[in-house]
Amino acid sequence: MRGFAMLGIGRTGWIEKETPKCGPMDAICRPIALAPCTSDTHTVWEGALGDRHNLILGHEAVGEVVEVGSLVKSFKPGDKVLVPAITPDWNSLEAQAGYSMHSGGMLGGWKFSNSKDGVFAEFFHVNDPDGNLAHLPEGIDPAVGTLLSDMMPTGFHGVELADMKFGDSVAVIGIGPVGLMSVAAAAIGGASRIFAVGSRQRTMDIAKEYGATDFINYHDGDIGEQILEKTAGKGVDKVIVAGGDVDSFVPATNMMKPGGTIGNVNYLGSGDYIKLPRSGCGCGMGHKNFRGGLMPGGRLRMEKLAALITSGRIDPSKLITHRYEGLEHAETALMLMKDKPADLIKPVVTI
């Protein structure tokens, strides 16, 4: 089969590989829609996970099941399925401890385009489909369904990590597709005031549609100072980080009230240390918390997030700015993610 792969750090190309084999607890799917992720760009062009050779990229897809193993109960060939980016081993000790995304070791639930071939191929392999896949609900366009693989679950997880409560004021640092889903999640979760930190007008406009109340441009100076100024020096209750770099935690900490929590979902592609400011941490006594996480996978979560779409509570299709048809455009779409033209939020490819 053909797939679009990372050949080595900084190098990509189309390769031929053997079609994956289906074990008794596996499924083989073909993608009917797929999307590239900013994470693919960290992996390929920053070498953030280390080197990979001839590894097929991509972890966001809606698929059609072509084969299932003898022990699979809930899916059969022909079913259209939502495919999460993270596909844990649900019987691992880490999953039993509540950290399925780290099953088998840190980040171990992230298999596609990390430890095994991803979805930018004619076929891809899914472990434990009963635990990991979800049926594509009637009424969700497969292109929109790709946003359930990673953008919605990750954006929502940022809000969970920040432990946001009703009435909290929050800042969302970074309003690409992930941060925009954090804005939407904060709004439906009951945030009182939502500061959206970005720079591009298009993303600011969509943040407003999803419920942001205040807009901060990180090119206009220190974002911590800008938010402190807008809150009479008090700061916000919680901060979600979905953009920036290892230095972003300095303003994130400074802009937070004592007792606040930073929920980070940003994939830190470079830099050896995450910086926290001494004084902003109350000289180490400010009850400020940092929590960073990989999105949880799992069928139940996919079904619940999908229900937010079918019930009309959230419309993630606003994120789709570029559409292509044909597997060969996995490459076009990934290069767009790398170059990030000003009008881009999320490209989607249907097949």
- What is the contact surface with Zn ion in residues (CB under 5 A)? 37, 39, 85, 150
Q: Does 34 bind ligand NDP (CB under 6 A)?
A: no
Nearest distance from C-beta of residue 6 to ligand NDP, angstroms: 15
Q: Which is nearer to ligand NDP, 199 or 289 (CB)?
A: 199
Helix (H) or strand (E) holding 248: none
Contacts (CB under 6 A) with ligand NDP, residues 216-275: 218, 242-244, 248, 265-267
Q: Does 347 bind ligand NDP (CB under 6 A)?
A: no
Nearest distance from C-beta of residue 295 to ligand NDP, angstroms: 4
Q: Which does 265 bind (CB under 5 to 8 A by kind): Zn ion, ligand NDP, none?
A: ligand NDP
Report d(CA 216, CA 209) in Å as an integer.
16
Report d(CA 148, CA 203) in Å as an integer.
19
Q: Which residue has the tokens 């090119």?
A: 219
Report CA-CA distances (Å) from 276 to 10, 253, 289: 30, 7, 10
First to last CA, the chain: 15
Nearest distance from C-beta of residue 267 to Zn ion, angstroms: 8
Report d(CA 309, CA 134) in Å as an integer.
14
Q: Which is nearer to ligand NDP, 79 or 261 (CB)?
A: 261
Q: Which does 145 bind (CB under 5 to 8 A by kind): Zn ion, ligand NDP, none?
A: none
Report CA-CA distances (Å) from 124 to 1, 3, 135: 10, 10, 17
Give the DSSP per-residue string, 148-170: GTTHHHHHHHHHHHTT--TT-EE
Nearest distance from C-beta of residue 334 to Zn ion, angstroms: 12
φ and ψ of 232, to 5 deg = 50, 40
Site size with ligand NDP, rule: CB under 6 A: 28
Cβ atoms of residues 202 and 178 within 8 Å = no
Residue 54 one-letter amino acid: N
Contacts (CB under 6 A) with ligand NDP, residues 268-307: 294-295
Nearest distance from C-beta of residue 178 to ligand NDP, angstroms: 4
Q: Which is nearer to ligand NDP, 142 or 296 (CB)?
A: 296
Q: Which is nearer to ligand NDP, 72 or 151 (CB)?
A: 151
Residues engaged in binding ligand NDP (CB under 6 A): 37-39, 42, 150, 154, 173-179, 197-200, 203, 218, 242-244, 248, 265-267, 294-295
